[in-house]
Amino acid sequence: MEVNAMIYRAINNLEETPRKYSGRGMYGKECLAVTVENPTNFFIDLTVEIFSICEDIGEDPYRFIEKLKNHRLDSMGRSATVVYWPSLAWDDSFKSREACKECDAYETLNEEGLCYNCSEN
């Protein structure tokens, strides 16, 4: 699995909303980001989620965890903080995902609103 896709999936699984963001010094380039209230708790939860996903799919979690270190924070004077990864380019296929109608998983859904697992059953 690609690093961008893994981090995006983990953010979705935490029921946060991934977004595109262009931070300072990025000159208009857009990267993967998320707005959170507590960045410390978010990173703990994100790390645990990546380990969980990797266990399910047989991937090495450390190759994804390593990329989490390359983040930046932007408070923008609000109570929430934007966490973003300039090295993880935004992909327009990354969209806010909704919960599957059958199992409530936050994944890519088909036209009927079902995730891959539920559409196969």
Q: 114 or 17: which carries more pLDDT confidence?
A: 17
Q: Is the pTM of the predicted complex or chain greater than 0.85?
A: no
Q: Is residue 96 scored above 70 in pLDDT?
A: no
pLDDT at 43: 96
Q: Is residue 115 scored above 70 in pLDDT?
A: no
Given a contact cutoff of 8 angstroms between Cβ atoms, the answer to whether 70 and 33 are in contact is no
Structure letter (DSSP) for residue 26: S
Banded pLDDT at 25 (limits 50, 70, 90): confident
Tell me how far apart the alpha carbons of residues 37 and 40 are, in angstroms, rounded to a whole number.
9
Residue 78 burial by Cβ neighbours in a 10 Å radius (0-12, 13-18, 19+): exposed
Banded pLDDT at 109 (limits 50, 70, 90): low
Two tokens at 119? 């559409």
Tell me how far apart the alpha carbons of residues 7 and 33 are, in angstroms, rounded to a whole number.
10
Phi, psi of 67 (to 5 degrees): -70, -25
pLDDT at 120: 62
Mean pLDDT of the chain: 83
pLDDT at 52: 94
The per-residue pLDDT for range 43-82, each reduced to its tens digit, is: 999 999 999 999 988 999 999 999 888 899 998 676 889 9
- What are the extents of the domains in the chain? 3-90, 96-121
Sheet holding 18-21, edge to edge: 18-21, 31-36, 81-89, 72-74
